[in-house]
Structure formats: C-alpha cells, structure tokens
C-alpha cells in the first residue's frame, strides 16, 4: 500500500502541519482524528487496515489530517471568540492548503469526509458547510451541538459551526440543491450521549428535503472496534 508523509508550514495557521496519504488513487477521503488527536491516529488504531482492500483496489485514497482542537474547541484558557476563530482558520487551512495539495496528485472529484467521535463533527460540519466540494460524509459517534464548548458565548462563527443550529434554517435554494446531492451518513450508539444531536441534525435536514442516513447502533458503540464495524458497513454507502 502506498503511504506518504507530508509536512509544511501553514501560512493560514502559522505553524507546521502534517498529514498522511494512503493509497495511489481513488476518491479522496479527508479523515479527521478524534478529539485533540493526531494525523497518525487512524493508522495506529487499525482503521487503515480496515479499509486496506478499498485502498489497494484504488477505490479510495485516505488523507489523514492533523487537528488543532487543543488550540480551538478544547483551549479552555482562551476567550471563546478566539477558540472559534482558530477553528475557522483550521477550516481555511483545509480548504485552501490541503485540498489544493491533494489535487496536485489526485484529480478525482468525489471527495468524502470521515471522522469518529469529535472527528465526526469535523467531517460532517465541513461537508454540510461546503456541499459543492464534498459528495459523501460519514460521521461515526459524533456530537453536533457545539454550544457547550463556548461558555455561553455566541457569534456568527459559533452559529455556523454548530450543525444542530444552522441545519434548522437553510433557506438558500442553491445550497439546498447541493446538500440534496450529498450522501450524509451518521451512525451512533443508542446509549451514546451524542445521539440526541445526531437525531436533531438528521431531522432538520429531512425537514428541508435533504435526505440522510441516520443509523442507530446497539448500546454505547463508541470505541474503535465499533467504528471499524461501522466503517466496513458504510464506506460504500448507507446500507
């Protein structure tokens, strides 16, 4: 299996960022780590092995990115306005640096996002915000109400990065058309505290005629073996 490590100084974030690429070609899959996780987590936890057949067949190419969660959502010493702005910068880094970089060696336009736990928030949020770029998003055991990270603070950046909020009021016909072309798959355990926010986002989207697949698993289902089983089931679609 092709594996390559890449690192450069991000002008958007003002620091070095790293990522791993697995596979020689196929649909690019932007893979986000769990809360405050690193770009090598997906490999270390055996998830690349789960997708080995898909990768070696050239169906998908994993782009495992780093996070800045410790500087944004989890940076409790900083003012909430600074936390959310750091997240906005992170999204700009992904869109303006990572995506163009991947396009230098992969011209496939079927972009996907994937994440587990807090990574599911990143995966689903960026896809819902930019449905013109992404074609499928897979969020496993995610949480999508981000208000608890903001200590009561609110601004437009918080609102438009809280899926349970902005999914209630989507009025732009063009955005709705793009969202209706997006494969949205969310899987969560029945006893997972994040289940409510999954149901809220799913229901809000259906209210706007945006189809999505919400899959409720038995028990808590919030660990790497569960995510491996989910991924085997959903990487090709919402079976």
pLDDT of residue 124: 98
Structure tokens at 143: 């949480």
Domains and CATH numbers, the chain: 3-234 (3.40.50.1820)
In the prediction, which pLDDT does 237 show? 63
Residue 54 tokens, joined: 């898909």
Q: What pLDDT, on the 0 to 100 scale, is given for residue 113?
A: 98
Between CA 6 and CA 101 the distance in angstroms is 10
pLDDT along the chain (239 residues), means of 10: 97 98 97 96 97 95 98 96 98 98 97 98 98 98 97 96 97 96 98 98 98 97 96 78
Q: How many angstroms separate the CA atoms of 113 and 109, rounded?
A: 13
Sole residue written with tokens 């491996």: 228
Q: What pLDDT is stored for residue 235 in this prediction? A: 83
pLDDT of residue 238: 56
């Amino acid at each position: 299996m092709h594996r390559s490590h890449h690192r450069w100084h991000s002008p958007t974030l003002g620091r070095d960022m790293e990522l791993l690429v697995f596979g020689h070609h196929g649909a690019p899959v932007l893979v986000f780590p769990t809360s405050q996780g690193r770009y090598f987590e997906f490999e270390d936890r055996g998830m690349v092995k789960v997708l080995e057949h898909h990768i070696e067949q050239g169906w998908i190419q994993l782009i495992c990115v780093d996070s800045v969660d410790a500087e944004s959502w989890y940076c409790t010493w900083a003012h909430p306005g600074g936390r959310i702005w750091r997240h906005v910068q992170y999204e700009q880094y992904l869109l303006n640096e990572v995506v163009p970089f991947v396009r230098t060696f992969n011209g496939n336009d079927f972009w996907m996002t994937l994440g587990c736990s807090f990574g599911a928030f990143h995966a689903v949020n960026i896809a819902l915000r930019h449905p013109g770029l992404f074609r499928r998003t897979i969020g496993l055991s995610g949480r999508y109400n981000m208000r608890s990270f903001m200590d009561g603070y609110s601004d437009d950046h918080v609102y438009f990065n809280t899926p349970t909020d902005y999914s209630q009021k989507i009025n732009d016909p063009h955005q709705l058309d793009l969202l209706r072309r997006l494969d949205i798959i969310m899987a969560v355990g029945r006893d997972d505290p994040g289940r409510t926010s999954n149901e809220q986002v799913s229901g809000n989207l259906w209210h706007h005629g945006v189809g999505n697949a919400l899959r409720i698993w038995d028990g808590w289902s919030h660990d790497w073996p569960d995510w491996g089983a989910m991924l085997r089931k959903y990487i090709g679609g919402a079976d």
